[in-house]
A and B are shown apart, each in its own frame.
Chain A
Amino acid sequence: MEICKTPLSGCVELLPNVLKDARGRFVKIYHQEVFTSLGLDTNFTEEYYSVSAMNTIRGLHFQVPPHDHVKCVTCVYGKIFDVVVDLRKSSPTYKQAFSITLDADKGNILYIPKGFAHGFQVLSETAVFLNKTTTVYHPESESGISWNSCGINWPGLKPMLSEKDKQLINLDNFNTPFE
């Protein structure tokens, strides 16, 4: 597994080996010891996936402390435009966004530390997005900021969002709980 830095400290892209043969493909997206040797968290207690139509945007989401968590996201089918926004007050890149294409053919993974909002838009006909988190879902700690308030250049023309995501607060009006 190869690790590549992003402009946001602590947020890294991981490139797994993709093994191909006559049967198809095999991709190892998580290995505890490898994660530990790379200095990454390994205490993943929840996992979920979503299946979304083209142009769907889900985000920008996070959980507030003390239920905040690390996310490890990947696209196992199709292709997505994946985005994170740094919400850590003391970070030199506070309020900065970073985007990356996650592609099932590459199997690339984005490791997102605590203190980031996360979202994505589907670039393919459908996409299966898979996420692991280091704390379980905690409804009262669930929070988010509006997808179009962070200066992100979304690639899809007609974004499809849930009512809930449409009503999220703007980044500028958001009082971050992350140090």
Chain B
Amino acid sequence: MTTGTEAPAIGLTHMGSEDTGLGNRGPQSKSIVVPYGFWLFVLSDMVLFSALFATYASLVHATDGGPVTSQLFDRTTVAIETLALLISSFICGIAIIAAKRENMFWTQTALFLTGFFGFVFLVLELTEFGHMISIGAPPQRSAFLSSFFTLVGCHGAHVTCGLLWLGTMMAQIWAKGFQQHIMRRLLCFSIFWHALDIIWVAIFTIVYLIGTLP
């Protein structure tokens, strides 16, 4: 990775150079350590979702006489939602490329579009939630609906937090430019954003596709 001048890993004295002076021996540089730690955090998030998936799988038939999956889910809406999220992720990739070239206009534009499509996804999801609540299928109706709203809502909450993070990142890049530590953060953000896609693909399959099987 061509990193130019970067503060080295903690407590190593090499005058701001990425080279730790120890070759491959000894502590890794920050550009390795920070994304590595963030990956571990993302893994823990995956564990969090796996517990929610397990909860959903064990409660999906506990409908308590209320609505069941095939009566509630609409594949078309979900397809549009999925498309919005995937486009958002794709544009996020473009934003990283633009940021690496230190092109402020395209970075900001791509990040804005990333956020825009994420927002579209959220609006569609909230509309779906609102519709379900209005037809007598709120989370309080049955254990199945509790687990559905929690699993999908937890993903939605992650997207919301991602949008907050994205806005902060955009402001930071605008104010401070493409500094090394800001680039690392942007990389972490893109890891987070793509990871949410992976979660969504699992939700799409396990909740919506299986739930609407004839």
Same complex origin of A and B: no
- B residues within 8 Å of A by Cβ? none
- A residues within 8 Å of B by Cβ? none
